[in-house]
Structure 1
């Protein structure tokens, strides 16, 4: 029989030898090609030879076992005959779920749950559920830890009697003597609760949760916050108040800052789950206390949850305007001067989201001073976060844009120029180049709000000054900025305000300025028309083709390539290409520098084809 293509590429014997090799890297490579081995063997031999072989050779390096656990869960059933044989993969994965290395166990459990999704009802009853019970009641804690992840995928598919056994078995994990097992139970209780009927949530899941929420290990208690949210989502607000209020209060005042951090980090989800009445009665005060917590990490998480972020509702969205003004805003003021730079940075990222909830007058009165204060913060990340949020506001990524508002809608163009603009000008020369870059990226968006006349008067010189910055990334961002400004104000504005100042730099004695000229022309050329390129730009580029610096000459070739793309779109431009651009490229093609010759030849191809 002729060999299959897979056998020709990877002879089976060689690959099997690699699996048995003493070299870890060879074994790892073979595991990554496991699907190729199975394909070459065929479904029958893969089931009868390969799977037992893998089962018998699991005493290996953790890296190899991790790769094996991943490979078996990536659609490997198709190589052994399809879903009807997928249960055969459970045995080696179950063994991997019992090893000491946590990463291997987690990946094995993940692969087992993936396989559960393709098993038939009979396969689940005969193979998957017995596996869950065997791991759950294992003598070694590793098997019990791994079993916790396997309950939620199978619970909805099991019979009523089996579901009862599953709930009892999971309850044993929640009271296990080993903290690692209890941690696993706390981690996976929430997903299991989401598959239960409400009666079982109240009678059986709640006792498990309460036991874990009172655990003496804070590493267990902090994982129960997600369980608390999952249970609350299954209950009515009245039932939440009856069954969970005590636990909510305990979590909010837990002695461990890590537990309070988890509450703070998930506070909005918790508030959404418990209902508006409990938010008003209990959680407003609780949120204020978290914003004033003595641990910076807790305050940081709380600051991130104040307004809406990335289309995720903030806590402020759940309360009325008076509550924001009277209880939350005083905390925001305190956070803006917090001793921790990380708290201030988190606030800087999210503070703009309060504007649409407060309205124009309150934004001017309360938020604008904080905004300006944070723009002058000594920590660069705070300033950077404020600036990046400015861009998000105008790109429609936050609540302001969703309300159809822009920054000028809230504070007005006059106040913007009086208060925000001086801060922007100051940040434009910030010692941290990333802050300067963030300001540059915001300028075109600000220009849309200010208008052409105001921009020319206040910011035009600033934009041109960035072309001479000592940091290349700033000069590069400045050239991109010019293109965006042309897209905002148009070609005629560019011809009057931008092009003359760019081409004037071409005679500067410092070659970096001449290089920036070429970069700027290359960046703005696609936004210009044939007339402007021919009359105002091309002569400057042609002169720089004779520059003594090779880097400038090959960038001239690249720029002429860009200009040609614009020119060839019209008959007039095609004529300029043949009479002016092509001769210059031919001259560069004879240059002594290899890079100049290479880029000029590429540009010549475009000219000739035109």
Structure 2
């Protein structure tokens, strides 16, 4: 192949692949654009590859999405910021396509490219591009333009900024709801880049108009701007402009708008300050907790702990907790699950007395909920309560419910309990743990679900780390060895796993004389899975025992397994023998 043909090779490959009917092949070729650009060099990437990509923007959405993403990271391939403007042409086309995710990614990439342009190139290429998008015939280009202003405005010379604000104002009044929706969504980010004197005047006027739009899809996106404006404006201006809008939105006829308010309310409370939040926004929040729509109650319930932090105990107990008690029995399991995920965080806020009196009954009710996710969310946060009321009260009130859940019919509940056991054990102490939870931990080793048995084995290892070698030798090893002859091979395999995990935590004597013989005897098991697990797990014992034990017990066993009829058994036996040789060499 001559040099000229060789130079064309990457482009030729790309042309062939992009014409292929196989979408996966076309997608893979787009994802290799960086490699192709490196092969071509910066000059040919600018003069050949970028124009070629621009001509091939009529493809499946998945391919175009990958192209839009790749071009955002292409500045170095075209020669750095000096030539970054060459990427704007294909990105402009991609930002006008019908598929939303492609446009969004193209706008994101336009932002990356715009940030590295010089002021000259911003005026010469970027702002004209923005104008074409903002004044495009199709709504898709105008929608995309809304996300470009935040990059263009701070880099534009002062004489062009008024024009840019005027263009954005036109988009806020566009006849197409999708355009107004995009303008409402991007207004807060645009406002963050504008001089402060224009925020209070022009931008707040636009914001107010968008919050009064006939389309609820526009209003709900305007809600997102409330928190953004709350951070941009002075406290007094925030109270004057933003607070009345939030209070109005909290009672909006569209549940989707109220949902957005519930999601944003805590951030707004931070903006106006705790005093005004208590006075003006907490009553609105309580109404959202009682909303007719479950989706709104879900969003509001998820903010319970955060909102109570803003209030004093009197307001929390008097206004919010009565509604929380109702939500604990809500007809929607999703509402109860959202509440359960955060309610434990109320304990540090309310303190010991209020937690015992007000919260513990709610915790117990949610721990007995029929929906598994509700119980899981409570279990995962129990340590928050322990820090406040202490382990004695926790064990008296909540431990019986935890023990009941340890045998729950849903395996994910049992799994969540197992994962929490080491933390609970460290708080309960050895004596209490042995009396109340020890038998549970051993019982999980014979659970019907593999994930439970696996987690139970790891749990015993973590308990050995917590309580020490002597405790593990006394309380764990004898019980585990007693299960070694179980008739179910799955349980016998779990025993082998446990012994391998616990071996580093017991004395050499216990390891060599009690645990290792049981493991090696399993090499004669009739089930091949047991035998190859013996071969695998002996590798855990090799560093823990002396060379005499290896030569007299482990090596003969592995040599026998190395001639087993089963190929998997032979493979793992070979690996273990290789480990022995490596240790001897070291």
2:358 counterpart (346, 360, 366):
366
CA deviation vs aligned residue, 1:146-189 (integer Å, no higher than 9, x gap) = 10000011212222221211111101100100001001101110
CA deviation vs aligned residue, 1:314-358 (integer Å, no higher than 9, x gap) = 121111121111111111111111111001111111111001111
What is the alpha-carbon root mean square deviation over aligned residues?
A: 2.0
1:332 counterpart (296, 318, 324):
324
Q: CA deviation at 1:409?
A: 4.3
Q: CA deviation at 1:107?
A: 1.5
Rounded Cα–Cα distance in structure 1 between residues aligned with 2:538 and 2:4: 53
Q: CA deviation at 1:23?
A: 5.4
Q: Does 1:33 align with 2:25?
A: no
CA deviation vs aligned residue, 1:274-326 (integer Å, no higher than 9, x gap) = 2223202201101111111111111111111111xxxxxx1211111211111
Rounded Cα–Cα distance in structure 2 between residues aligned with 1:197 and 1:355: 44
1:457 to 1:36, Cα distance in 2 relative to 1, 3 A: closer
Q: CA deviation at 1:127?
A: 0.8
Equivalenced residue count is 583
Confirm or deny: 8 A CA contact 1:6 1:40 kept in the other structure: no
Confirm or deny: 8 A CA contact 2:496 2:534 kept in the other structure: yes
Aligned residue in 2 for 1:108: 106
Confirm or deny: 8 A CA contact 1:479 1:524 kept in the other structure: no
CA deviation vs aligned residue, 1:544-601 (integer Å, no higher than 9, x gap) = 121111111111111111111333xxxxx33322222222212222222211111111
Aligned residue in 2 for 1:403: none
CA deviation vs aligned residue, 1:388-418 (integer Å, no higher than 9, x gap) = 223xx3xxxxxx4xxxxxx444333332232
Confirm or deny: 8 A CA contact 1:345 1:382 kept in the other structure: yes
Q: Which moved more, 1:38-47 or 1:85-94?
A: 38-47
Aligned residue in 2 for 1:225: 223
Rounded Cα–Cα distance in structure 1 between residues aligned with 2:150 and 2:387: 49
2:185 counterpart (176, 180, 187):
187
Q: Which TM-score applies when normalising by structure 2?
A: 0.95
1:558 to 1:206, Cα distance in 2 relative to 1, 3 A: same
2:256 counterpart (231, 255, 258):
258
Q: CA deviation at 1:481?
A: 0.8
Aligned residue in 1 for 2:375: 383
Aligned residue in 2 for 1:61: 60
Aligned residue in 1 for 2:509: 531
Residues 144-159 of structure 1: matches in 2 within 5 Å?
Answer: 144-159=142-157
Residues 145-544 of structure 1: matches in 2 within 5 Å?
Answer: 145-307=143-305, 314-390=306-382, 393=383, 400=384, 407-544=385-522
Q: Which TM-score applies when normalising by structure 1?
A: 0.92
Q: CA deviation at 1:4?
A: 11
Rounded Cα–Cα distance in structure 2 between residues aligned with 1:537 and 1:115: 63
Q: Which moved more, 1:141-150 or 1:158-167?
A: 158-167
Aligned residue in 2 for 1:404: none
1:541 to 1:45, Cα distance in 2 relative to 1, 3 A: closer
Aligned residue in 2 for 1:310: none
Confirm or deny: 8 A CA contact 1:6 1:39 kept in the other structure: no
Query: Which runs of no fewer than 5 residues in structure 1 stay unpaired?
Result: 308-313, 394-399, 401-406, 568-572
Rounded Cα–Cα distance in structure 2 between residues aligned with 1:20 and 1:381: 49
Confirm or deny: 8 A CA contact 1:6 1:36 kept in the other structure: no
The DSSP-based 3-state class of the residue aligned with 1:566 is coil
Rounded Cα–Cα distance in structure 1 between residues aligned with 2:189 and 2:232: 12
Q: CA deviation at 1:608?
A: 2.6
Aligned residue in 2 for 1:46: 45
Confirm or deny: 8 A CA contact 1:376 1:383 kept in the other structure: yes
Query: Which runs of no fewer than 5 residues in structure 2 stay unpaired?
Result: none
Rounded Cα–Cα distance in structure 2 between residues aligned with 1:2 and 1:323: 83
1:6 to 1:196, Cα distance in 2 relative to 1, 3 A: farther
Q: CA deviation at 1:26?
A: 4.4
